[in-house]
Amino acid sequence: MEKQTNLITPLTRKFDKFSRQLLYIILGVAAFTLAVGLGYAEDLTAESINEVFEATIALAVSAIPEGLPAVVTVALAIGVSRMASRNAIIRKLPAVETLGSATVICSDKTGTLTENQMTVQQIYAGGQPYQVLGTGYAPEGNICRDNEAIDVDQHPSLTDCLRAGLLCNDSHLTQDEGLWKVLGDPTEGALLVSGRKAGFTLDQLNAELPRRDVIPFESDYQYMATLHRGQHRSEATIYMKGSVEAIVSRCGEALDAQGQPQPIDAQEIHHQAETMASSGLRVLALARKTVQQSELDHDDVKQGLVFLGLQGMIDPPRQEAIRAVEACKNAGIRVKMITGDHKVTASAIAAQMRLKRTGEVIAFTGAELGEMAQDDFVRAAEDGVVFARVAPEQKLRLVEALQSQGDIVAMTGDGVNDAPALKQADIGVAMGQSGTEVAKEASDMVLTDDNFASIEAAVEEGRTVYRNLIKAIAFILPVNGGESMTIVISVLLDRLLPILSLQVLWLNMINSIAMTVPLAFEPKSKQVMEQPPLSPDRPLLNKRLLQRILVISLFNWILIFGVFEWVQGWEQENTEALARTMAIQALVFGRVFYLISLSQIGISLGQKLRGRAVEVATAPVVWIGIAVTMVLQIFFSQVGFMNELFSTAPLNLEQWGICLLIGLPMVVVAALANRIDPPNQLS
């Protein structure tokens, strides 16, 4: 399935809708202003028409949030940088916010939720259970029966089971500076280690029985097979490993305790596998077949194999992943496990990961999903926590089913076959260490450490980015609203404009950006992962945010209009320029106080004043933004050529003080707005 290069996310959809709505409103109000202005004009002279067009242009300029696109880009870029520092590489910029809106995370178990370091703990061979001691990849530890170490050579069926695990294997065990590592698949690495604990080495076995052909593992078949023949032997041996279901169904015989073949007891083998799986062990079955050929095909392993045994290995859950899953649950995000493991094994791991829903782990196998009608499949996708032995095309169907219910889906994957599901997901997450290049190309984000905790961290940063963007909107729009109201009401009252179009452009482009960009650097709040995901259909401007914007806009209008009319009453030369300058500077002081109220500084100060034991945030970027703003405003009013360009007048110290005092009531108004729409919960 193809997916567009330009990523469509909840954020881009909301901004597109918001932009169109704002455009229609601005055009409508501008047309109304133009009509009213021309209606007031007694004689349509060139001068009167110019005045009306000046007002209309000033209105359009004041209403358009010119600085918003720059702030959005900066906020997303900062989010990318923060995610990269937390092991999540973003490949497509809008995907930063998509994670913050995620309602479901579909994650592979191996490596993402677990340590990805398998260790064989139990073996069932010749009808007898064995225990394997030792952890990790170090080949140290005994093989025991009834808690006593044994001589493996005295147990022929166990020997054959261990040899099969070594020979039917594409991985290698190496030692680097005293540390044992596996080059290849961790599951195969566990088989190498269990064989080494019994005294076997891969080089020795390969010398005795060199590999002649191989059938690589494929998820569709659930097994791998290799063909081996010694130099002076007429017969060849096929060794095979895979899922219990795939192997046992092809076996007619099994080795007994003395290593002799006898009719297979499939029911007992499945019982032993279930017992291992219920302890959270991943179980592999091993088998062999003697043949007279030199090539290997799927038809050669359809039947006639001899069952050798089971090896059960554990991949313990990552402790940080358990904490991350809990954080996601608190944030209203459902986590689903999609794995190639046995259903019982996956369910046991899910229970350890605390993935239970309604008190139990609801699990489905790929075979069960394949027999469901579409409606039942969608219900299973919604209700299920574990999906075991799932085919790649079923991963794609699971994503589509969840999306059909309105979910924002994040899907992890590492293989070539995962690419369609990664593309279909709202955000595809590829593994940086174990992932293929195809999976990475299909993804929107790459985890450098293959750790689920990094996904949770990325969600946290994504939510922070979104809330910082909403803060930016909550800051910019009230200023634009106040300016627009000032111009419209001035036209309706047939008064001089308190603010000119070029002055509005300065405020919206220079002043706004200098004061709004610091909001993009705001750190995450402690409540960011304690709130449910936002609905993808929820507009940028909801009721509470509109109320906030209206309250601040009204104050800004009163401030601009009031200061202009008041200063106009002074009997001074160039009163209009002075009145406009003081109105603008008073507005800027008010904006400074409003910026502080939206930032973590104001939030922590408010909590401190309410008697809470919190540390007042420093937020140096906000202070830098305020300092830059004040320097620019001094330049705006005190420099001669700027006075000529923007029709402003220089202010004395007393007038600066008056502007500061007039802007000070914004503290009270901002506190009222924060009660209507708390900054840390801006939606």
Q: Which residues are catalytic?
A: 108
Q: CA-CA distance, 532 to 55, in Å (whole number)?
A: 44
Asked if residues 495 and 123 have their Cβ atoms less than 8 Å apart, the reply is no
Q: CA-CA distance, 182 to 469, in Å (whole number)?
A: 45
Q: Hunting for tokens 């999976």 — which residue is that?
A: 439
Asked if residues 545 and 470 have their Cβ atoms less than 8 Å apart, the reply is yes
Q: CA-CA distance, 556 to 546, in Å (whole number)?
A: 15
**Start-to-end Cα distance in the chain:** 33
Residue 2 bridge partners (DSSP): none
- Rounded to the nearest 10°, the torsion over CA 603, 604, 608, 613 is 140
Q: CA-CA distance, 15 to 69, in Å (whole number)?
A: 10
| Sequential DSSP letters for 554-577 | HHHHHHHHHHHHHHHTS--TTHHH
Q: CA-CA distance, 292 to 457, in Å (whole number)?
A: 56
3-state DSSP assignment of residue 102: coil
Produce one character per residue of 514-525: b if its CB has 16 or more CB atoms within 10 Å, e if not. bbbbbbbbbebb
Report CA Rg, the chain: 34
Q: How many CA atoms lie within 13 A of 470 on its CB side?
A: 27
Residue 88 bridge partners (DSSP): 447
Which candidate, 625, 603, 623, 614, places its Cα nearest to that of 675? 603
Residue 42's CB: how many other CB atoms inside 10 A?
A: 6
Q: Write down how long the chain is.
A: 683
The H or E element that residue 411 is part of is strand 409-413
Question: Who's near 510: CB < 8 A, 6+ residues apart?
Answer: 632
Question: Who's near 493: CB < 8 A, 6+ residues apart?
Answer: none
Q: CA-CA distance, 195 to 205, in Å (whole number)?
A: 11
Which DSSP state fits 303? S
Residue 431 bridge partners (DSSP): 447
Q: CA-CA distance, 416 to 116, in Å (whole number)?
A: 19
Q: Hunting for tokens 């039947």 — which residue is that?
A: 303
Residue 337 has phi, psi (to 5 degrees) of -100, 125
Residue 142's CB: how many other CB atoms inside 10 A?
A: 14
Q: CA-CA distance, 389 to 242, in Å (whole number)?
A: 12
| Sequential DSSP letters for 16-29 | HHHHHHHHHHHHHH
SS3 percent helix, strand, coil of the chain, rounded to 5, is 55, 15, 30
CA 570 to chain centre: 58
Residue 110's CB: how many other CB atoms inside 10 A?
A: 23
Which candidate, 186, 161, 168, 147, places its Cα nearest to that of 314? 186
Q: Hunting for tokens 């799927």 — which residue is that?
A: 298
Asked if residues 244 and 273 have their Cβ atoms less than 8 Å apart, the reply is yes
Which DSSP state fits 533? P
